[in-house]
Structure 1
Amino acid sequence: MENVKSVLLVGVGGQGTILAAKLLTLGLMEAGYDVKMSEIHGMSQRGGSVSSQVRFGKQVLSPVIELGGADLLVSFEKMEALRWLEYLRPEGKVVVNDYEIPSAPVLSGAAEYPAGILDELCARASTIVVDAAAEAERLGGAKAMNVLLLGATIKLMGLESLDWEKIIRENVKPQFVELNLRALAFGQTLVG
């Protein structure tokens, strides 16, 4: 099953992780790939860990990425990157948003947000750090950071030739289409 590629998208509820995975899946399906996607929502309404696993290739038998099986780990929040790092292949890459969302224990004062996360990620894996929230805000709205990270994913997985504009236009609310198209294009420039 060498032809199967695995992308793990992780974040915190409310960041648009699942929408980004859905857009990726729809684009891959339209391009003729066999695609399997699975989601874990946890307490994803706001603040809980969220993960989406997208596997694609000629024939995909399982939607689940095993430990050490992800070609690409895309993290919308930096602590989540560290939490899911064991799923990355030794030769895999990490794209991490330099963004913090304090967990409930941190907010209550029972714990501190760990320091040095980005340094640890860079020491343990091939890591690209982006400030997706600031870049999306600069493009017109911080809510587009998920599609900006999707753009980085598309570039790193060599999927630029697919019709992503069509996928965005068909699956994003009309008032956000242009912003998301700009974010998608800009995200590709951050990693290549």
Structure 2
Amino acid sequence: MVKSILLVGVGGQGTILASKLLTTGLMEAGYDVKMSEIHGMSQRGGSVSSQVRYGDKVESPVIEIGGADILVSFEKMEALRWLKYLKPNGKVVVNDFEINSMPILSGKADYPSDVIGELSSKVQTTAIDAAGKAQELGNSKVMNVILLGTIIKAMGLQSIDWEKIIKDNVKPQFVELNLKAIETGMALV
């Protein structure tokens, strides 16, 4: 059975790093893993998505519309944008975090109101404050690893040696912080 995880966000939020850590952990656990990234205008705060598929044998890295088991959104409007990719019984984990896009900043569009309410009315949604939790840990940059922790818990991947994955892929001075971030994320779902 192949599982599909869709990570979405805005350029600069660490979406790609989180998906690379996830992919590394899944491969070390013996899964066949395929990952696909779409950067878009990520350098300019545009939409970013990363698709991770794993199982015994994965044929394609691409998640089709209606194919994701879980949608993890680093920015809440991105969850709405990518919602059509979720399976009917899929789960959404959404970071209650707002980044205004260019059309909103230039006054050509308004940020939608009650994004989380709209998501919750359509699918099983868990809203978290990863930014606030990252601040509590003392570094806003671990918001992405907190969100990785939510994926680990939601997908039942706690048996993977995440401590090793973090130690192998993070600068030594940030290992403890990132391990706390994973634990924090796992406790939120």
Scaled by the length of structure 2, what TM-score is found?
A: 0.99
Hey, what's the Cα distance between the residues in 2 that align with 1:158 and 1:118? Answer: 24
Report the counterpart of residue 147 of structure 1 in structure 2: 145
Report the counterpart of residue 59 of structure 1 in structure 2: 57
**What count of residue pairs does the alignment treat as equivalent?**
189
Q: Deviations over 1:120-142 (max 9, x none)?
A: 00001000000000001101211
Q: Deviations over 1:26-69 (max 9, x none)?
A: 00000000000000000111411000000000000000000000
- The AA in structure 2 aligned to 1:144 is V
**Which of 75, 78, 84 matches 1:77?**
75
Hey, what's the Cα distance between the residues in 2 that align with 1:122 and 1:175? Answer: 38
Hey, what's the Cα distance between the residues in 1 that align with 2:134 and 2:128? Answer: 11
**Which of 85, 91, 100 matches 1:93?**
91
Give, in angstroms, the shift of residue 175 of structure 1. 2.1
Hey, what's the Cα distance between the residues in 1 that align with 2:25 and 2:67? Answer: 22
- The AA in structure 2 aligned to 1:111 is A
**Which of 112, 123, 126 matches 2:124?**
126
- The AA in structure 2 aligned to 1:128 is T
Give, in angstroms, the shift of residue 178 of structure 1. 1.2
Q: How does 1:28-39 map to 2 (within 5 A)?
A: 28-39=26-37
Report the counterpart of residue 159 of structure 1 in structure 2: 157
Report the counterpart of residue 16 of structure 2 in structure 1: 18
Hey, what's the Cα distance between the residues in 2 that align with 1:137 and 1:37? Answer: 29
Hey, what's the Cα distance between the residues in 2 that align with 1:116 and 1:82? Answer: 11
Q: Deviations over 1:1-32 (max 9, x none)?
A: xx100000000000000000000000000000
Give, in angstroms, the shift of residue 93 of structure 1. 0.2
Report the counterpart of residue 133 of structure 2 in structure 1: 135
Report the counterpart of residue 169 of structure 1 in structure 2: 167
CA distance 1:184–1:46, change in 2 (3 Å): farther
- The AA in structure 2 aligned to 1:183 is A
Structure 1: state its 5+ residue gaps.
none
Give, in angstroms, the shift of residue 109 of structure 1. 1.2
**Which of 177, 180, 183 matches 1:179?**
177
Aligned CA RMSD, in angstroms, stands at: 0.6
Hey, what's the Cα distance between the residues in 2 that align with 1:28 and 1:97? Answer: 23
Hey, what's the Cα distance between the residues in 1 that align with 2:174 and 2:142? Answer: 8
Percent identity over the alignment?
72
